[in-house]
Amino acid sequence: MTRPTGVADRVPAPALFIAAGVSQYYGAALAIGLFAVTLPTTVAWVRLLVAAVVLLAWKRPWRVAWTRRELLASALFGLVLGGMNLLFYVAIAYLPLGAAVAIEFAGPVALAAWGGRTARARLAIVLAVAGVLAISVVGLEWSSDTHGTALGIAAALAAGASWAVYMVLGRRIAVQRDGTTSLAVGMGVAALVYAAVGAPFVGPLLASWDLALLAVAVGVLSSAVPYAIDQVAMRRLSTPVFALLNALLPATATLVGVISLRQVPSWGEVAGLVAISVAVAITTARPRPVTAAPP
């Protein structure tokens, strides 16, 4: 007996993957609009909270037995993911969206190339470093806000490092238990722990229904929708296609920034984005890790 074909199954997997990226980065673009009302870390915490509520309601992890080791691993996983989100939102508060995403990708590239002795691994590292330098030194405008630009670059690099740690932890968790259930627990822990950072300044977002709904939309578009789409798309993507689509994500973020935020990239940013995208394609053109991208 064949399984009924759903609407998502009839949509080409590459189109679903790109749609997930557009949703995630459009959510980030909406978040930038909220930075005028409250702190970036508060908006990031609301995103975590919304994602945690959605995932916990979906997976209901309290219905299954957990070992202490599994709970601790899931909690650490969530804390790393939450920290990555907070750092990324700090980065996009000071940098163009496309530039921040491109710099953040240096983390996964470094992880994939770590310990590699092949020419491909060395080339990926060189391209990633060159891309970060092209964006940071040549592409970005330093004269208007030197401190803010430096903070944004540092936050994007730290988010990339957190992303690499998240991928390592994600592989281990996926072996122990269903990854989405562990993610639900981790996001719940992250929402509780990072409430100390985000909750005290959430008041302005609750001042009107418009702002509150916009904050919820950020969480849904940036986390819930991309993750749900990825569950369908990732099963149907070959490794070469996955590598190509991953390489397009920094460009996707840049395009969203141009359309939604009028952030037109400089030539330095474009050159850096291309270099990092090629590095991403090189390092992902191999068997995929269990956890490839943050939800």
Distance, CA of 231 to chain centre: 15
pTM for this prediction: 0.89
Farthest-apart Cα atoms in the chain, separation: 65
The rounded Cα 289 to chain-centroid distance in angstroms is 16
Amino acid at site 189? V
Q: Given this model, what pLDDT does residue 283 score? A: 82
Q: How far apart are CA 41 and CA 25, in angstroms?
A: 17
Residue 185 and residue 61 in contact, taking contact as beta carbons nearer than 8 Å: yes
DSSP 51-65: HHHHHHHHH-GGGS-
**For the chain, domain boundaries:** 13-284
CB within 8 A of 113, min separation 6: which ones? 121, 122, 124, 125, 128, 283
Q: Which of 74, 58, 76, 101 shows the shortest CA–CA distance to 231?
A: 58
pLDDT score of 281:
87
Q: Which helix (H) or strand (E) holds 156?
A: helix 146-176
DSSP readout, 264-275? PPPHHHHHHHHH
What pLDDT, on a 0 to 100 scale, did the predictor assign at position 83? Answer: 96
At 234 the pLDDT is: 64
CA angle 103, 251, 96 (to 5 degrees): 55
CA distances (Å), origin 90, targets 44, 67, 83, 192, 255: 9, 35, 11, 20, 20
What CA–CA distance (Å, rounded) separates 227 from 16?
11
pLDDT, position 171: 74
Report the half-sphere exposure of 220 (CA within 13 A, side-chain side): 6
Q: How far is CA 122 from the centre of its chain?
A: 25
Return per-residue pLDDT of the chain as tens, 295 residues. 444 455 556 778 788 888 989 999 999 999 999 999 999 999 999 999 999 999 899 889 999 888 898 899 999 999 999 999 999 999 999 999 999 999 999 998 888 787 667 888 889 889 999 999 999 988 998 878 899 999 999 999 999 999 989 888 877 776 666 677 888 899 999 999 999 999 999 999 999 999 999 999 999 999 878 877 776 666 677 766 776 788 889 999 999 999 999 999 999 999 999 999 999 888 876 555 444 455 4
